[in-house]
Structure 1
Amino acid sequence: MSDSPKTLLLVDGSSYLYRAYHALPDLRNGEGLPTGAIYGMINMLRKLRNDYPAEYSACVFDAKGKTFRDDMYPAYKEHRPSMPEDLARQIEPIHEAVRALGWPIVVVEGVEADDVIGTLAREAGVQGVRTVVSTGDKDLAQLVNDDVTLVNTMSGEVLDPAGVNNKFGVPPERIVDYLSLIGDAVDNVPGVPKVGPKTAVKWLAEHGTLDAIMANAAGIKGVVGENLRNTLDWLPKARELVTVKTDCDLRAAVADFHALKDVGEDKEKLAAFFSRYGFKTWLRDLTGESLPDPRAQARARASAAPAQGGLFDAPAATPSASHADAAPAQEDSAPSEIRYEMVITDAAFDAWMQRIESAPLTAIDTETTSLDPMQAQLVGISLSVEPGEACYIPVGHRGPDVAGMDNHGQLSRDAVLARMRAWLEDESRPKLGQNIKYDMHVFANHGVTLRGIAQDTMLESYVLASHRNHGMDSLAERLLSLKTITYEEVCGKGASQIGFDQIDLARATEYAAEDADVTLRLHRRMFPQVQAAPGLHRVYEEIEIPVSVVLQKIERNGVLIDAQRLAAQSAELGQRMLALEQAAYDAAGQPFNLGSPKQIGEILFNQMKLPVVKKTASGAPSTDEEVLQKLAEDYPLPKVLLDYRGLAKLKSTYTDKLPRMVNPDTGRVHTSYGQATAVTGRLASTDPNLQNIPVRTEEGRRIREAFIAPPGSVIVSADYSQIELRIMAHISGDENLLRAFANGEDIHRATAAEIFGVEREAVSSEQRRYAKVINFGLIYGMSAFGLAGNLGIEREAAKHYIDRYFMRYPGVAQYMESTRQTAREQGYVETVFGRRLWLPDINGGSGPRRQAAERAAINAPMQGTAADLIKLSMIAVQGWLERDRLQTRQIMQVHDELVLEVPQGELELVKVRLPELMCSVAQLRVPLVAEVGTGANWEEAH
């Protein structure tokens, strides 16, 4: 019998509500009632109970009405927006579901949930019971001790006393003092002005407690010291407001501690609840019964296929009442039985060919010898046309399988591809994949052009929720409650991992056929959600699917590299690094390892006594780039170190590495474009990363000289001009901005004239530079503090410029405020084309994370719209090149720029037609402008 202590599992229900609501799309049941928060709450509670088994549990919610803190401080929480109506409608059902799940609900009038949790945790300690609190609220870190642990299910963070200290820089017993100093913007509790986490941690490290800091306030220098002295009368009240009470009277809600004993789920109540709110899969898992669809007969008349469920829940919810019938009804994605077939005979292969040739949509997946799409050779093909039914056609396995069958007896790869070629290359045969761009490369490696790309589950997930994980295993677990077989389970890990071509056929069939089957089931779950939102549907079908086909062609085209030029640059960089190394030794007075942060810290801070700008998590002085840049303003050695690091990165990442990345078969470098990586819709580039070549330095720009055109051709670069500012003008509708762009004015000169109150002709180069920083800074949410640092001016002057800017461009100020509000209300913002950019931290994150989310809310529509525009341009340009059968090829896409390789004979045509196409893909309220350059290499084309 175990004598380990029992556990009380407490859930911050009020925190869970908002996190569930904002984390999921707008799910609805068949009657149009919102169900997203309900689903999220149930899912989180079930997972939490599974991860943290406990003898006692409770879900704690805030009560309606005032608390003692409102009486103490009337402005308490006054800035918090009211609860969204759709969330308010889900509160009662959530309470019902929580009770049916077996969780006691604790709500105490006049007492906040935090204080209830604090009191229950203290009582648990008295009873000898340890406590686990599930929350995302930093305030509760003050409760942590050896018997109380916080867990954040969203981030996976677990905070014990050491974890609190690592995260905040102070132990749990100092969290109240820490919060009193920095304030709590979420609850509208002011701290000491200009005192953030770093200063608070520093003061507490020096003085120990808030009382000691207050007692020594007279000796603290600078503006923050003055602010502290001005806040001394307030700080005791701030401390009282942020202190979680642990002695509340809970008798009205909890008779005694044992009333919180875990009782398990009430299956009868849960079944009735799942049926009423349309959670099909959960109902079937619970009872084995299927949920009747009241609209089934009407839908059957409109479509031959049965009904399909919602995105993040058991299949039944649709994303919006207004679009509930817009999505074609689909079959439930959970099959009653699984049938996976190993295809190793001609008869079985012919039978599957007949199936896919008559199927309205076929899921296809490939197994290969490599993750490198340009090198991967085909090992097998899996297919699925119905949920639960799939096959695997092995064509490249080696060695005997476990049954003793000779794997060399599998069907011939050449014969299979010859028989499948007509279907694979038929544009009219719709195909579905998970990241099907990779499979297009695999078939291309064998001379087959995969056409008919109709659907891609990775892109469906990306369009629906760009901030989530889009891997198939993750999607299957999240959407289908299915634990898939992983590659590591089949092939092993690390040094002992073997290639898929060495796996026995039976195990390979189980793994590969599941991939095709799950892909089809995921599509049936997600695609109706995409269809139901017109903006998302447009982004998916008119941008993401067609651009994936274009990207595969660009990746395959690759770009020619001048390896000799890079080798010469490497040698030159190496010589300059040696000179900088010696300069560093001279400045330090001794040799040291320039790549060692520890040795650099020893030289800078222990021997040279330079000021410590900030510290690492372990408490050592930081030597990161930000610190060195600050120190370089006054000291020579940090500047030498920065220069050395910059050259070392260029050498290792580009001049040394690029020649080794040349494909031996093509003589070119082939980057991979990640289409479902950046939440804004922008592409990511890897192996090599073409997005991060530093072009602000001469050395960085010279690297682009090595990206060359072959003899008889030139490089053409076309770049959208000031695209995000133009999108800002379009979205905000500001009359002055619109007028400036419509008249073709220099926007930075126009802004300078407005801010400085001078005629455009009288604007100086310095004033224009200021205006440029302001124009671009504000669309990234730059504050007066940030602007002052950027321009090297006083903060008051920066604030004056910002105020003048908003006075002259009131539409921009209004856009920013309305966008923040919209983001807080719905949890996302949208691009001009309807792409949704989710902001999980906009309401529930910590102060810095929430502020970052607000900045992202302002900028994301512009970044996202710019991403949509460049993708539309790539599609339009590729369509033109193919229709007119030109030899010109798109070879790179970097930021807002398209790079093409153009034969001399087509150059004049491309120089005219390319910018026309880029500027006509969309009609904004301001004209789009694309600037074109040409040259023998990429750098010359600029």
Structure 2
Amino acid sequence: MKLLVLDGNSILNRAFYGIKLLTTKEGLYTNGIYGFLTMLQKLESEVQPDAVAIAFDLKAPTFRHKRYSGYKANRHGMPEELAQQLPNLKELLTLLGYCLVTCEGYEADDILGTLGRSCTERKDTCVIATGDRDSLQLVGPYVSVRLASTKYGQPQVTLYDEQRVMEDYGVKPPEMIEIKALQGDSSDCIPGVKGIGPKGAGDLIQKYHSIDYIYAHLDELEIRENLRQKLRDGKESAYLSHELGTICTSAPVDTNPKSYVKSPAKQSEAAVLMRRLEFFKLLEKMDWGSVPAPTDTSAEEAAAAPAAIPLDVHPDMDQLCSNLQKDGQIYVLGDFDGRNLQRLSVAQGDGAFLLEDPDDWKRIFALQLPCCTYDSKPLFTAAESAGAQLNLVQDALLAAYLLNATASGYNFERLCQEYGAPLPADVTMKHMQPQDLMRTDTLTSCASVCALPQLCKALAEKIEDSGETPLLRDIEQPLAHVLAHMEQTGFAVDRSGIAKYGKVLEEQVQSYQKDIWEQVGYEFNLNSPKQLGEALFDKLGLPHGKKTKSGWSTSAAVLENLRYEHPAVELILQYRTVSKLKSTYCDGLLKVIAPDGRIHSSFNQTETRTGRISSTEPNLQNIPVRTDLGRELRRFFVAKPGCVLIDADYSQIELRVLAHVANDQNMIDAFKSGADIHRATAAQVFHMPEEMVSPLMRSRAKAVNFGIVYGIGAFSLSKQLRISRQEADTYIKDYLQHYNGINDYMERVVAEAKEKGYAETMFGRRRYLPELSSSNFNLRSFGERVARNMPIQGAAADIIKIAMIHVEERLKREGLSAQLILQVHDELIVEAPEAEAETAAKLLQEEMENAVSLAVPLTADAKSGKTWYEAKA
């Protein structure tokens, strides 16, 4: 029989420190549990045991503590983030069928030793898994040790048998105790012999094998006299250390291996706990995604429940539409290839219906019934392509995002697991045709729509409880409709202009490369960090910093610090800038121009933690604007013939939101007067009249203004402005003294977030911050920074979303052909026929400035041009 024995505390510790801190939206810490489970899975896969025992320490003192009061005296208690996880881990392991072993007065090591000894006596195989090398003393003919650790978030295992111990340490496994008796163990406060370290102890035991022999022949040993004296002085300590370091193999625990055979898992209860811990990938890996939660359903009700979900592959559309109209609501899921709808799944009654004929989709959309779905944005386009409007009442994807903006993902299966909406465990096909037999897996997945009603109900209740129903109903869901139009419309570009500019940039890349080679003295691959590091730090002898696996780091931050050390560094920075413009933007944009001559970016509402919209494929929000070369790219984003582009962006929206939420009268007055807020701030910080503020002073005040929004500290501000930390600290203190309402706000929101467990915007958008309760200073400081800036950044994001919705609605209401085509942070771009340009510009500015009412005015300046470059000039 093969028994796998785990040192529970040791493996949990290695997992906790080897994986970044993870939390659920409730604030439960989970990284240690997750790492433990992945390690357990790896061990079981490799060992294939017949039984598994998991040993844990108890808090009560052991016989070692009673023998020596200093034993482990320097050990601190578990950090709270780890201690929180232990009960949940033990509960989950028990639900999964594992046997947990503890023994008062003994440590987990002693349980490992006892079970290993009993296996040896029976000539059974015992595999010990631990992160502690002390257990190597237990290795024998029937016992091996797998040293477990977690590195870069992944489980690592090293096998130790008798041969491996001898290879690594030069001694037999039992002689590991003798080494510890001499060298001691600082982590456990085992004293050893003073003045003898690991090498000295190892050499002595390799030669003499035991402390008994050493002390029996101390005067005869061929060793230095000072070493002989150390041994003589430390004899009592050596024997004490030997006693403390020897793992007990006779702890009073059950040694019958059959006691440790796994019991059947309590799947429902375990799945509930794993969902609470948000272990959705593990649930999928275990194929437990559809395990239902425990219910009080009677046996009669359970017997009456359908054995499988019926999926009608070719339904009677008249009957389906009639039934849906009686229901008064529809639940649908779309299956898309890009932006093209391939099939529509509908839940109705106890079954699911699959529609693959566009004419059938039209009939469903034409019902105009209140619709619940997952990911409404592409469905808006599909409905309009069918000549109808999607009457959206709930989008499960957007609701889940609002409930937990920091989740790692929102795929449909995960949400069903998280919110207790079991996916169909089995499906029966109705009205199948011969050609359907080849795609049963695809068809079966369509039955997932049956989980949608329960999912939407659970999400609606959670959203209502969190007070975010208006945010979902009035902002996020209408915005999905706006974004669908923007994606469909796209942005026209000048293909030939981009191609020509790419050639210009390529010439500059070649020129910079030649100049760099001349400065260094030889040719090399500038895109190889290793070769570049050798050129800068070995050949040129520049100061170097962090070393990576491939050599010295040549990151942007490193090169920025070396900018003035050698002319080659400036050239390399320019080379990188131009190379990226050429490859990422010129080459990249040419690849994504659609047949209609426009770029159709995708806009994502669930990507950022602050509520901002992101853009991908390509990211049009990231077109460079800080350099002249980057700004040139905007010349190639054009209006279609007969149209112009109208560009408007908010002026200092985040500072205006800050003035409003902090109710700082000085800042409110400055904005109301129309003053240059950065100049006014500089005048206060530098204690001088505004007319005497220099451009440099204004620039530094601007850095403080915006830095405060992002929770900047003196250290970061000093690096940004290249000034002393003390000077930066003075700037911040003077700023907060003048704008004392801001200072009060900063303290208030952190206190409120600690009390509630989350920060929120003026519109009710939440971000949960378990970091605020962390015992780790850096994590806690991060949480405090987010608590200060999330309400500001999130509100600014909400305001521009409201403006987008209002602009779209008003353009339609006034019968204009102009269309909103792009949003970039605080900037909106409308494409309008030349005849509508003046009206559209006025409309855009009005709707942006009147999106919400704040204590300070919102200002937006609208300009127009044939290109994006002209409209921004």
- Scaled to the shorter chain, the TM-score interval is 0.7 to 0.9
Structure 1 counterpart SS, 2:525: coil
Counterpart AA for 2:560: Q
**1:569 paired residue among 484, 489, 501:** 501
Q: Does 1:130 align with 2:63?
A: no
CA distance in 1, matches of 2:666, 2:77: 37
Amino acid at match of 1:343: V
Alpha-carbon distance, 1:23 to partner: 3.9
Once the two structures are overlaid, the 10-residue window that deviates more, 880-889 or 95-104, is 95-104
| 1:568 shift after superposition | 2.1
What SS is found at the alignment partner of 1:390? strand
C-alpha separation in 1, matches of 2:78 and 2:823: 47
CA 1:663/1:259 → structure 2, altered by over 3 Å: closer, same or farther?
Answer: same
Is 1:871 the counterpart of 2:801 in the alignment? Answer: yes
CA drift at 1:564: 2.2
Q: 1:471 aligns with which of 390, 405, 411?
A: 411
Task: Tell me the equivalent position of 1:459.
Answer: 398
Specify the alignment match of 2:762 in structure 1.
832
Corresponding position: 1:381 with 2:336: no
Give the match's secondary structure for 2:648.
Answer: strand
Confirm whether residue 768 of structure 1 aligns to residue 698 of structure 2. yes
Residue 356, structure 1, aligned to residue 296, structure 2: no
Cα displacement string for residues 643-668 of structure 1 (whole angstroms, at most 9, x for unaligned residues): 1111111112222232332221x321
Q: 1:56 aligned to 2:53?
A: yes
Partner of 1:519: 452
What percentage of aligned pairs have identical amino acids? 29
**Partner SS state of residue 383, structure 1:** strand
Amino acid across the alignment from 1:130? I
Distance 1:274 1:771, change over 3 A: closer
Give the alignment of 1:93-492 within 5 angstroms.
130-131=128-129, 147-150=146-149, 156-158=153-155, 290-291=295-296, 337-344=307-314, 348-368=316-336, 370-371=337-338, 373=339, 376=340, 378-386=341-349, 389-395=351-357, 413=358, 416-417=359-360, 420-427=361-368, 429-442=369-382, 444=384, 447-468=386-407, 469-480=409-420
State the shift of 1:264 in Å. Answer: 6.2
The structure with the larger Rg is: 2
Aligned residue among 549, 556, 581 for 1:650: 581
Question: Residues 717-866 of structure 1 correspond to what in structure 2 (within 5 A)?
Answer: 717-844=647-774, 848-866=778-796
Mapped pair 1:898 → 2:828? yes
CA distance in 1, matches of 2:858, 2:59: 51
Partners of 2:520 and 2:30 in 1: CA distance: 61
User: 1:732 is aligned with what amino acid?
Assistant: A
What aligned pairs does 1:10-25 form with structure 2 within 5 A after superposition? 10=9, 23-25=23-25
Q: For 1:647 and 1:471, how far apart are their aligned partners in 2?
A: 38
871-880 or 465-474, larger mean C-alpha shift: 465-474
Q: 1:810 & 1:80 partners in 2: Cα distance?
A: 35
* Distance in structure 1 (CA, Å) of the matches to 2:149 and 2:818: 59
TM-score normalised by length of structure 1: 0.67
Shift of 1:692: 1.0
Structure 1 705/782 Cα, relative in aligned 2: closer, same or farther at 3 Å?
same
The structure-2 alpha-carbon separation of the partners of 1:855 and 1:584, relative to structure 1 and needing over 3 Å to count, comes to same
Amino acid at match of 1:906: E
**Aligned equivalent of 2:181:** none
Following superposition, the deviation at residue 837 of structure 1 comes to 1.4
- 1:549 maps to 2:497: no
SS of structure 2 residue aligned to 1:941: helix
Paired AA for residue 372 in structure 2 = L
Shift of 1:578: 1.5
Q: Residue 810 of structure 1: CA displacement? A: 2.9
Q: Matched residues in 2 for 1:737 and 1:157: separation?
A: 50
Deviations 1:341-360 (A, max 9, x none): 2433xx62332222333333
**CA 1:641/1:845 → structure 2, altered by over 3 Å: closer, same or farther?**
farther
Whether the 8 Å contact between 2:115 and 2:255 is mirrored in structure 1 is: no
CA distance in 2 between partners of 1:58 and 1:638 (Å): 57
Distance 1:92 1:847, change over 3 A: closer
Cα–Cα, structure 1 residues 878 and 643, in superposed 2: closer, same or farther, change >3 Å?
same
Q: Distance in 1 between matches of 2:423 and 2:519?
A: 58
Task: State the shift of 1:20 in Å.
Answer: 15
Q: Distance in 2 between matches of 1:502 and 1:605?
A: 66
| Amino acid corresponding to residue 460 of structure 2 in structure 1 | F
Q: Partners of 2:859 and 2:77 in 1: how far apart? A: 46
Say which of 515, 529, 532 aligns to 2:462.
529
Cα distance change, pair 122–805 in 1 and its aligned pair in 2 (3 A):
farther
Equivalent pair of 2:602/2:616 in contact (CA under 8 Å): yes
Which amino acid letter does the alignment assign opposite residue 728 of structure 2?
Answer: A
CA contact (8 A) 1:125 1:147 kept: no
C-alpha spacing 1:267/1:711, structure 2 compared with 1 (3 Å): closer
- List per-residue Cα deviations over 1:27-59 (Å, max 9, x = no partner): xxxxxxxxx969999999989876765722356
Whole-Å Cα distance in 1 between the matches of residues 101 and 871 of structure 2? 67
Displacement after TM superposition at 1:476 (Å)? 3.3
* Equivalent in 607, 622, 637 of residue 692 of structure 1: 622
Distance 2:293 2:715 in 1: 61
Q: Distance in 2 between matches of 1:736 and 1:61?
A: 59
Partner-residue secondary structure (3-state), 1:604 = helix
Q: Which digits, 9 at most, give the CA deviation of each residue in 1:673-703, with x for residues without a partner?
A: 0111111111111111111111001111111
Q: State the distance in 1 between where 2:435 and 2:827 align.
A: 43
Q: Deviations over 1:799-829 (max 9, x none)?
A: 2212222222233233333433444444421
In structure 2, distance between residues paired with 1:864 and 1:52: 44
1:47 to 1:651, Cα distance in 2 relative to 1, 3 A = closer
Answering whether residue 533 of structure 2 is matched by residue 601 of structure 1, we say: yes
The aligned amino acid for 2:813 is R
Provide the secondary structure at the position in 2 that maps to 1:724: helix
2:226 maps to: none
- The alpha-carbon distance between structure 1 residues 336 and 846, as it changes in their structure 2 partners (threshold 3 A), is farther
The answer as to whether partners of 2:15 and 2:149 remain within 8 angstroms in 1 is no
Partner secondary structure for residue 296 of structure 2: coil
Deviation track 1:499-521 (CA, whole Å, cap 9, x = no partner) reads xx998565156334224223344
Paired residue secondary structure (1:632): coil
Query: Which deviates more, 520-529 or 45-54?
Result: 45-54
Q: Secondary structure at 2:656's aligned position in 1?
A: helix
User: The residue matched to 1:55 in structure 2 has which SS?
Assistant: strand
Unaligned runs of 5+ in 2: 45-50, 120-125, 133-143, 160-197, 200-242, 278-282, 427-433
1:869 positional shift: 0.8
Cα distance change of structure 1 residues 762 and 285 upon mapping to structure 2, 3 Å threshold = closer
Residues 594-628 of structure 1 deviation map (CA, whole Å, 9 limit, x = unaligned): 22222212211222222212222x26201122222
- CA 1:542–1:693: 2 relative to 1, 3 Å: same
In structure 2, C-alpha distance between the alignment counterparts of 1:801 and 1:259, rounded to whole Å: 71
The count of corresponding residues between Structure 1 and Structure 2 is 734
- Greater alpha carbon shift after TM alignment, 451-460 vs 266-275: 266-275
Contact 1:13 1:61 in 2 (8 A): no
- Displacement after TM superposition at 1:772 (Å): 0.6
Describe the shift of the 1:883–1:503 C-alpha distance in structure 2 as closer, same or farther (beyond 3 A).
same
- Residue 628 of structure 1 corresponds to 559
Q: Is the 8 A contact 2:311 2:352 kept in 1?
A: yes
Distance 1:533 1:117 in 2: 44
Aligned to 2:631: 701
Q: CA distance change for structure 1 residues 550 and 337 in 2, over 3 Å: closer, same or farther?
A: farther
| 1:227 matched residue in structure 2 | none
